[in-house]
Structure 1
């Protein structure tokens, strides 16, 4: 069976990582994968090129408004590869998959959606328009895969065809995301942070939904009470957002307390360097990968109660209300005040929870089942 995955890019991100994880796990005797991106490059491009049974194509678009390039380029690839299923991942990739699968061609169509409670005022006008258009078109899709129960309810409430929705939580590679105490210690030495100093980490792209402002305001509170605590932020995003966040950090008096790492490819080591991590998102999260990844590395996490964060966190930390710096700071202080033995116990419980609930094979097998079910109507 040939499955064509359409995604805007292969840059580092939760959706992109999950796609790569799925492609690694799919049964190569049953599935041939075709990946089509809008733009070239990205963190995952080379690894996919080396993966057997995966054909990688790029539309080479100038921008997202290059509609002619989208439609004509994808049409050529579809005619050449003849996929049985078109799988659109997020936004206009879903729309484009539907156009080609149901209007131009005769392929089955699956959508992959992830977000919850999105504040579209924080993004481009076209993003909100595409979201509402897709809600209207969703009855024509064969299946919609959503990675969280909160996301399933949210999309159904927004008018998406609830009978088409299947929830498949993300799969976490616990063979990759695992404790790396030696590498974590090496990073601390590079950063000149001694093992005794509490280090609070925030991993994730620089995006409005991640609410880094709340993280920084909580950091100010904790820094005032605990002169020894340091903070580290690992993630990439638009230059304007980074500049604004650094200006906020400076205005809060955190210049000497926050390390800005930018994008990292050694995330297990970054997690392992931290005493605890945090997800401060205020909206939009479905399944927060960074929470599960941190727990898989046996590092406790404090997460805001957005999307399925409480399900993902389990016994591995604390849940607090979103947009509440005081609550976030209090939870951090409670965890860093625990003994090292108690912190390790919480981290181990978190890893056990991720292994039991969010293993890769569960995600892959559930997705394969959807593919086979959809293809049975061919």
Structure 2
């Protein structure tokens, strides 16, 4: 293993295939904090806006051509990654999400201290034979991770139930409360939607347009919501593989903002933020919305449920893949501005107390220190009890 100069901080190599969405945000926030802490940060990822943003922070980036899903290209991706790792000579590798976790662990195979962060389990995202293969790999691949880092206790519990034997850390996602903050709703809304009636209830959903995020469920619920509150408008913020299908047949009361460089104004403009996910590790959108002082409705799935403070669960949880129940939850909140304001205040206090991005970064660096100073890259017997929980 390469040894850095005595006065240099550890060399950390982040691996990520997603270059947009929540995973990219987590990688960016970690890189910013780790650079400030004196670590030498390199990120290997496919081409896209993420690499440019990271370079503007001072991180080194290396191009790693990789598809989102496993397939015939995997052996070549692993070989390219192995060469890249040999050139970068990191002291620690931190692989994010399923594809980078697969290719990264195959390339390293335990020779360098390795952290794998699934950001939601791959075997929960698919079905049939594909799910069985993904689970088999995660059980086997855990031997090549010195630490399996989950973003929620529910994600860790799902891994244990699935028979994954590993050394675990739970480090919930964090939010930059300086960036995500309340603002006057009327002013922000007027700049985003100048033709919208200021009194019209505005529901916002921020996320990649894909099956996981469940926008199709929200659109089915919207028929009931719009019938009860005809002036209401729904804005879907984001892009993704389901964009064309979701747009097809959507009513005029549903607006598509597409991919945006900054989602903060959309949170600030909303009367209510909804995330109707089918599964999550721990989504950023509810935390971001709460940091902006906006009430949220999430589906009762692992990770999403855990992001809410207990007092909000009574009003803000809806069963997953249940349009009728989702509509009832939204319709109970839209006509009650005082309740929404109270929920927004409670949510922001919760995020400030438990999901500050600085605490998240410190917890991740603590895991790094432990691996670099105690294991020295040696393989350690897995255990269910070894945890570092930040809550």
TM-score (norm 2): 0.86
Aligned counterparts of 1:256 and 1:236: Cα–Cα separation in 2: 18
Give how far 1:372 is off.
0.6
Aligned counterparts of 1:59 and 1:227: Cα–Cα separation in 2: 48
Aligned counterparts of 1:264 and 1:319: Cα–Cα separation in 2: 27
> 1:157 aligns to what?
161
Confirm whether residue 76 of structure 1 aligns to residue 83 of structure 2.
Answer: yes
SS in 2 for 1:120: coil
Contact 2:115–2:145 under 8 Å retained in 1: yes
> 2:325 aligns to what?
327
Aligned counterparts of 2:262 and 2:36: Cα–Cα separation in 1: 28
User: Measured at CA, do residues 312 and 9 of structure 1 come closer, stay the same or move farther in structure 2, by a change above 3 Å?
Assistant: closer
SS in 2 for 1:35: strand
Q: Deviations over 1:278-300 (max 9, x none)?
A: 11112x21212111111111111
Q: Deviations over 1:175-211 (max 9, x none)?
A: 111123333331131xx21211001111111111212
Give how far 1:29 is off.
4.8
- CA root-mean-square deviation: 2.1
Aligned counterparts of 2:253 and 2:132: Cα–Cα separation in 1: 37
TM-score (norm 1): 0.89
Q: For 1:115, which of 88, 108, 120 is the aligned residue?
A: 120
Aligned counterparts of 1:228 and 1:92: Cα–Cα separation in 2: 43
SS in 2 for 1:50: helix
Aligned counterparts of 1:184 and 1:25: Cα–Cα separation in 2: 32
Aligned counterparts of 1:118 and 1:98: Cα–Cα separation in 2: 20
Contact 1:210–1:281 under 8 Å retained in 2: yes
Aligned counterparts of 1:322 and 1:72: Cα–Cα separation in 2: 40
> 1:268 aligns to what?
264
Contact 1:199–1:229 under 8 Å retained in 2: yes
Q: Deviations over 1:35-89 (max 9, x none)?
A: 101x2113x222211112x210002358863345423322332222211111111
> 1:201 aligns to what?
204
Confirm whether residue 35 of structure 1 aligns to residue 34 of structure 2.
Answer: no
Aligned counterparts of 2:353 and 2:74: Cα–Cα separation in 1: 43
Q: Deviations over 1:323-357 (max 9, x none)?
A: 11122111111111113x44222212111111111
> 1:186 aligns to what?
191
Aligned counterparts of 2:225 and 2:104: Cα–Cα separation in 1: 47
> 2:54 aligns to what?
48
> 2:95 aligns to what?
88
Aligned runs of 1:225-264 on 2, under 5 Å? 225-238=228-241, 241-247=242-248, 250=249, 254-264=250-260
Q: For 1:3, which of 1, 8, 12 is the aligned residue?
A: 12
Confirm whether residue 302 of structure 1 aligns to residue 297 of structure 2.
Answer: yes
User: Measured at CA, do residues 185 and 114 of structure 1 come closer, stay the same or move farther in structure 2, by a change above 3 Å?
Assistant: same
SS in 1 for 2:157: helix
Contact 1:102–1:108 under 8 Å retained in 2: no
5+ long unaligned stretches in structure 1: none
